Amino acid sequence: MTIAPTHKPTFADIPLSERLAKATPLLLVPVLVLVGLAAIGNPSSWLTLTVSGLAMGMMIFIIASGLTLVFGLMDVINFGHGAFISVGAFVGISVLLALGGWAGAPSLLLNLLVVLLAVIAAMIVTGGLGWAFEKVIVRPVYGAHLKQILVTVGGLIVIEQLIAVVWGPEEIFFSRPETLKGAFTFWGAALEKYRILAVAVGLGLFVAMRLVFRRTKIGLIVRAGVENGEMVEALGYRLSRVFIGVFIAGSALAGLGGVMWGLYQEVITASMGEELMILVFIVVIIGGLGSVEGAFIGALLVGLLQNYVAFLEPKLALVSNIALMTAILMWRPQGMLPVVKAK
Amino acid sequence: MSEPVLKLKGVETDIAQYHILKKVDLDVPRGSVTMLLGRNGVGKTTTLRTIIGHWQARAGSITFDGNDITRLPVPDRARAGIGFVPEDMGIFADLTVEENMILAAISGPLDAARRDWLFSVFPPLRTFWNAAAGNLSGGQKQMLSIARAMAERRTLYLIDEPTKGLAPAIISTMVGALRELKAQGASILMVEQNFAVAKALGDHAAVMDDGRIVWTGSMAELANDATLQERLMGLSMEMQ
């Protein structure tokens, strides 16, 4: 016997204004790209800057995606994330330098293979480091934000010093693998090969993360855990184990980001992660805490805006992202696509 | 009489500096509906949250299905067979109805026959299967919250005010669904402020006051004694 109510539920019509308001963050990137075209005027310069901005944004997204999940899932503010960027870069570039013959060969296959090996090594080391970092430094301070900031900053400093002990205190200069050097011309615009690769990697990672989060049970658990961890546990899932997995994955992604950023700059330093963390935090905040999609949009906005402004008014480049964050927080105080409501 | 499915003995729970539960003793008989009643702020929700483990009991013991679960983590209590429907419904607003239900099936994929049964009990779930749960109405969210707890068979269901703020048509759906659940042999411990619902569903009743169980007995006994209701809860069911 059914005990269904007699009423027939239907989808309510969501007003156009509400639908537009929801979609606004998604429109910001294309709007910024069009505004950039109007402001720069020259299409080839605009295309070069756009690809550069997208590449920068994708690399920041790779780093920020793990951090936003770590915050969203367990309410942990991890300033130590920057250390994983630096360690990843040093490990990856060490592999690259050790396999200098492959990197210097004029073979796309060998060059991509050496980059892949560098990335794998960096991700394994930073993933392992993340596991130890969570266990030793983060776990004792769950729920205490001030202590989290203090101990994770402390962990960051210690790891930076360890990098100096292992690799020396000087910055390391190097060249990208042979076939990833230089640029090719497209519609009169010079497009750096490596930046195209960075865009492809970032986009691929974003699509892969979307698939994991939308199509797998572990992805659902993570999304639900970011929103309401208490209820996920009441359903029978051990969120602490999921969190450790996310922390390790986030650390490994920071390592990947470190290698990518190192190859982008062709120089690495122990403090590079710490310096990048300003941009990463801006991305996490404007994207909305716990939101991978928000971090993606935020990272693209940061990358594009910095490149456009650096071309148009170089003196303003440094403040452009702080101005962006201020504007977005005035518009949406919880960021563009917040997932974490209140904890 | 069989052993109670759930037994609380001298349970005390503190929230920050507040001493909320003060030696709660409660037996929940197997295969029946026990209503946990009382004025606002007497510790009913805290009792349910202590049983599922969101609040840790400072003293006393909680025995479920013959096993001491007092110190078990929340997920282990859920996997032992306790379903929980919190007062705020706890639905995952950013997930679709389907995704909410997939998560609720902890032992594997959501059973198709069980899903179809839930569709018959809560028809809006079928309509809004692919919609974001956050876009549902209050009543539909409550249906989803209860359906999620029912996605797999549980020995005991802890349900906190499932009819709060709902329209009469939705309340009748809830009552029907919980009756079906009971007919399947489940035990239910339910906090309810709506006395008509409590009377319609309850087999047993436990009344709380100031963090303690002050009366236990049959729901019928309580429902038929206006003086007792006045004394325990400050108003009679007939007023509702």
Distances (CA, A) of A46 to A50, A162, B81: 6, 42, 61
Each residue's pLDDT tens digit, B189-201? 999 988 889 999 9
* pLDDT value at B166 more than 90: no
Helix axes A239-265, A108-133, angle to 10 degrees: 140
**B6-91+154-239: CATH superfamily:** P-loop containing nucleotide triphosphate hydrolases (3.40.50.300)
Which of B50, B51, B92 to probe the A interface (max A CBs under 10 A)?
B92
Q: How far is Cα A63 from Cα B36, in angstroms, rounded to an integer?
A: 49
A314 found inside a domain:
no
pLDDT at A1: 37
Q: How far is Cα B134 from Cα B90, in angstroms, rounded to an integer?
A: 11
* Closest CA–CA distance from residue B155 to any residue of chain A (Å): 14
A169 found inside a domain:
yes
pLDDT at A116: 96
pLDDT at A158: 95
Contact between A213 and A293 under an 8 Å Cβ cutoff? The reply is no
A78 found inside a domain:
yes
pLDDT at B212: 94
A311 found inside a domain:
no
* pLDDT value at B43 more than 80: yes
**Neighbouring residues of B152: CB distance < 8 A, sequence distance ≥ 6:** B104, B105, B106, B107, B111, B114
Per-residue tens of pLDDT for chain A, all 343 residues: 344 444 455 555 667 777 777 778 889 999 999 999 999 999 999 999 999 999 999 999 999 998 988 887 778 888 999 999 999 999 999 999 999 888 888 899 999 999 999 999 999 999 999 999 999 999 898 878 899 999 999 999 999 999 999 999 999 999 999 898 888 888 888 899 999 999 999 999 999 999 998 999 999 999 998 889 999 999 999 988 898 999 999 999 999 999 999 999 999 999 999 999 999 999 999 999 888 999 999 999 999 999 999 999 988 887 899 999 999 999 999 889 887 654 4
Contact between A54 and A33 under an 8 Å Cβ cutoff? The reply is no
> A220 and chain B: CB distance < 8 Å anywhere?
yes
Which residue in chain A is spatially nearest to B109 when comparing CA positions? A217
Q: How far is Cα A206 from Cα B99, in angstroms, rounded to an integer?
A: 21
A42 found inside a domain:
no
pLDDT at A188: 83
Q: Which chain B residues are closer than 8 Å to A243 by Cβ?
A: none
Average pLDDT for chain B = 91
Q: How far is Cα A315 from Cα A302, in angstroms, rounded to an integer?
A: 16
The DSSP line for A178-232 is GGGSSEEEETTEEEEHHHHHHHHHHHHHHHHHHHHHHHSHHHHHHHHHHHHHHHH
* pLDDT value at B94 more than 50: yes
Q: Which chain B residues are closer than 8 Å to A4 by Cβ?
A: 120-123, 173
Which residue in chain B is spatially nearest to A237 when comparing CA positions? B75
Each residue's pLDDT tens digit, B17-27? 899 999 999 99
* pLDDT value at B231 more than 90: no
A260 found inside a domain:
yes
The residue ranges of every structural domain in chain B are 6-91+154-239
* Closest CA–CA distance from residue A195 to any residue of chain B (Å): 34
- Joined together, the tokens standing for residue B26 give 């409660």
Count contacts between A and B (CB, < 8 Å): 93
Residue type at B133 in one-letter notation: A
A65 found inside a domain:
yes
* CB half-sphere exposure, B135, CA atoms < 13 A: 20
Q: How far is Cα A102 from Cα A113, in angstroms, rounded to an integer?
A: 8
A148 found inside a domain:
yes
Partner residue facing A5 (CB), from B131, B137, B173:
B173
Q: Which chain A residues are closer than 8 Å to B54 by Cβ?
A: 230, 234
Do the chains contact at B177 and A3, CB–CB below 8 Å?
Answer: yes
Q: How far is Cα B175 from Cα B166, in angstroms, rounded to an integer?
A: 12
Residue A225's domain comprises 53-271
Confidence of residue B236 (pLDDT cuts 50, 70, 90): low
- By C-alpha distance, which of A30, A281, A26 is closest to A149? A281
The ipTM is 0.91
Q: Which chain B residues are closer than 8 Å to A237 by Cβ?
A: 75, 103, 106
Tell me how many domains chain A contains: 1
- At residue B194, φ and ψ (nearest 5 deg) are -85, 105
pLDDT at A70: 85
